[in-house]
Structure 1
Amino acid sequence: MTVIHSASHAAARPASPALVDPFGRVIDYVRVSVTDRCDLRCTYCMLERQTFLPRSEILSLEELDRLCSAFVDLGTRRLRLTGGEPLVRKGFIDLVGNLSRHLRSGALDELTLTTNGTRLADHAEGLARAGVRRINVSLDTLDPDAYRRITRGGDLDRVMAGLAAARTAGLKVKINAVALKADNAGELAGMVRWAHAGGMDLTLIETMPLGEIEGDRTDQYLSLADVRADLERQWTLTPLTRRTGGPARYVRVEETGGVLGFITPMSHTFCETCNRVRVTCTGELFMCLGQDDKADLRTVLREHPADDSHLRSAIREAITRKPMGHDFRIERRGAAPAVARPMSMTGG
């Protein structure tokens, strides 16, 4: 395995005080995008002819290691690596393996990732060896034709092979499905049954107004309040106090014995308990997914290659600007997205 952190960056330091935002929320969960590239073109996520960033603007593996480690120094307990699709990033498994030193030291509780699953068959075993124990797989339909249409050419069989490989490697899998009025509204109950029968939790997500797409999100928006009401007509949903560090609210489906999550940024905000921030693959720290305020960490990384104290200071200053909540809303038909940057850049 390639070692991509230097001794100076890995040196032990006294624990820093926790990151606390202006509203008293402890920020201990960070999502870091390692690439804006993806091997799918999901209709609700990006343009079919998406323009990707030049390599010079993307953080190197060493810079990603330094950045993640700085957050761990500042009290991050959960670290999620995202994209785009993280498994398309060359050297990604090495990055995970190096970051797992924070799991072994006890500084980090969880190191995980969100993936579309298309490359899991090749990498599941490597992820498990590198210290990953749980992954999220984005999958919006079990119908091969609908999958091909939503992803603009994706092969559902590759994802199913990846899920099988993940289970064989001992990875716990949670399925994330975006609720889409025109594409999967009638399939969601069946997806819950399928996931729970396979020992996987499933979380439903409302579509969010991030980035330009060819269509109009008002055509696809489906309130999870309505979905939950429909599911409650056929199942018993028992609320759970379970939290995994993210925004989902969970229930147990008594008839299946599995766990179902709801992420509802549009119909019911979850900002009051927000404990997370996101960093793009270009090193931009966004304190809120639904706001444009950001901090440029790439410049700090590159101007101070041998001293991460400046990086930690920049992170601390940025957290003092974390807002109370986002401004997401589904506007009238034809309105511009609430946030111009695509989800593939910010990271899921």
Structure 2
Amino acid sequence: MLSDRFGRTIDYLRVSVTDRCDLRCSYCIPKGFKGFEEPENWLSFDEMTRVIAAFARLGTRRFRLTGGEPLLRRGLPALAARLSALPGVDDLSLTTNGTQLQHQAQALHDAGVRRLNVSLDSLRAECVQSICGSDSLDKVLDGLAAARHAGFSAIKINMVPLLGVNDGDIEAMIAYCIEHGFILRLIEAMPMGSTGQHAQGLDLTRKLDELTRRFGLHASCKTLGGGPARYWESRDGSFTLGLITPMSQHFCASCNRVRLSVDGTLYMCLGQEERFELRPLLRAGCSDARLEAAIRDAIELKPEKHDFITQPSRVVRFMSMTGG
């Protein structure tokens, strides 16, 4: 198994297949942004497969396809099918904004993707328009329905509550998730790039007491993927709530993941700048042994913790550049 210099096992790789997105969420990509990676610098599907196979040989078992918006990358189900067939890939999942999901859900499920996270910050069309810069609510709801029909279970809805914007929509989102059997995950906004640094996120640790009383929730021992969410569930088991709290209660001591960007950069932490470039090695025709050694070297760079609290303006790259 891969482990870093702080004794943490690295068993989870998030893979960005594109930095492009069809939305401009206020906490992620600024309106009018044009600084996307040039396509010639994108890793090919062959190159991505090599990297993921190397991680799998080194003991990593969980892999998530992300973006930007991953479903904008042409032929993504074909890549998913290749990855799910690799020895050692035990868990292949996808994070999406849902706008393209209606037409690709079945192909993704057929390709071996088994878990979906879908970003949805409100059930009010005008609020979605305000946050995402697009009237995309109906597309996302249709995509969720298609995902259920395709056979996906335990679908997670990712919501980023913003003060004075959609923080009043949490109860309506809980009711929607109870009705449709979805898992709701509330995520604190992180100060990445100018957009994230100006986002007024909600302190979810403070919000938790209110939600547990209102909906009769208790702490859950469920393991729902390899990420940092902590879960609570209703007494009858009909609803599960997850919280991801990088700001109010960080989880750096148990961090088990690194991120591969579309240009072949391994990022060790969302809140730090340590990185390792794999693309030059891949395009120079490196051996599998050399690639595995490079991955081990990269993991040694992983920092102990992020600096979102003490240095909130430090990370200037946008979330879409790092990879979900």
TM-score range normalised by the length of the shorter chain: over 0.9
Q: What SS class does the counterpart of residue 38 from structure 1 fall into?
A: coil
2:159 is equivalent to residue 159 of structure 1 = no
Structure 1 residue 234, shift from structure 2 partner: 1.3
The answer to whether 1:314 aligns with 2:306 is: no
The answer for the alignment partner of 2:189 in structure 1 is 207
**Alpha-carbon deviation of 1:338?**
3.1
Could you say what secondary structure the match of 2:113 adopts?
coil
Corresponding position: 1:339 with 2:285: no
Question: Which one of the candidate residues 153, 157, 161 is aligned to 1:179?
Answer: 161
Alpha-carbon deviations, 1:2-34, whole Å to 9, x = none? xxxxxxxxxxxxxxxx10111211111000101
1:326 CA displacement: 1.0
Shift of 1:286: 1.1
SS of aligned partner of 2:290:
helix
Name 1:323's counterpart in structure 2: 303
Sort the Cα spacing of 1:97 and 1:84 in 2 relative to 1 into closer, same or farther, 3 A. Answer: same
Give secondary structure in 2 for the equivalent of 1:233: helix
Corresponding residue for 1:123?
A: 104
User: Displacement, 1:255?
Assistant: 6.6
Percent of pairs with identical residues: 48
CA distance in 2, matches of 1:330, 1:145: 35
Q: TM-score, normalised by structure 2?
A: 0.95
Structure 2 residue identity aligned to 1:24: G
Which of 37, 48, 57 is equivalent to 1:53?
37
Pair 1:260-2:241 in alignment = yes
CA–CA separation in structure 2 for the residues paired with 1:187 and 1:47:
23
Residue identity opposite 1:94 in structure 2: A
Conserved 8 A contact 2:14-2:64: yes
Coordinate RMSD, CA, aligned: 1.6
CA contact (8 A) 2:182 2:239 kept: yes
SS of alignment partner, residue 71 of structure 1: helix
Partner AA of 1:46 in structure 2: I
Residues 215/154 of structure 1: CA separation in 2 closer, same or farther (3 Å cut): farther
Alpha-carbon deviation of 1:288? 1.3
The equivalent position to 2:47 in structure 1, one of 42, 50, 63, is 63
Structure 1, unaligned stretches of length 5 or more? 1-17
Structure 2 Cα separation of the partners of residues 249 and 163 of structure 1: 23
Task: Give the Cα separation in 2 of the matches to 1:322 and 1:251.
Answer: 30
Displacement, 1:202?
0.9
1:69-88 mapped onto 2 (5 Å cutoff):
69-88=53-72
Separation of aligned partners in 2, 1:129 and 1:330: 45
Q: Does the 8 Å contact 2:181/2:238 carry over to 1?
A: no
Report the alpha carbon displacement of residue 64 of structure 1 after superposing the two structures with TM: 1.1
- Counterpart in the other structure of 1:234: 214
Q: 1: CA distance between counterparts of 2:235 and 2:166? A: 23
Does residue 1:22 correspond to 2:5, yes or no?
yes
Structure 2 residue runs of 5 or longer lacking an equivalent are none
Residue type at the aligned position of 2:187: I
TM-score (norm 1): 0.89
Decide whether the 8 Å contact of 1:301 with 1:308 is kept in 2: no
Distance 1:295 1:330 in 2: 24
In the TM superposition, residue 190 of structure 1 has moved relative to its aligned partner by 1.5
For residues 292-348 of structure 1, what are the alpha-carbon distances to aligned partners after superposition, in whole Å with 9 as ceiling and x for unaligned? 01001111111125x2221111100111121221111287xxxx7331111011112
Paired residues, number: 321
Label 1:126 to 1:23 Cα distance change in 2 as closer, same or farther (>3 A): same
Give 1:233 shift: 3.4
1:144 and 1:125 map into 2 onto residues whose CA distance is 26
C-alpha contact 1:140 1:179 (8 A) present in aligned 2? yes
Q: Give the superposition deviation at 1:229.
A: 2.3
Letter in 2 for 1:20: S
Q: Offset of 1:175 from its aligned partner? A: 0.5
Contact 2:190 2:197 (8 Å CA) reproduced: no
Q: Compared with structure 1, are the counterparts of its residues 68 and 215 closer, same or farther at alpha carbon in structure 2 (3 Å cutoff)?
A: closer
Q: Label 1:249 to 1:58 Cα distance change in 2 as closer, same or farther (>3 A).
A: same
Q: Distance in 1 between matches of 2:304 and 2:216?
A: 34
Question: For the residues of structure 1 that align with 2:310 and 2:24, how far apart are their CA atoms?
Answer: 22
Structure 1 segments (4+ residues) deviating >4 Å: none
SS class of match (2:232): strand
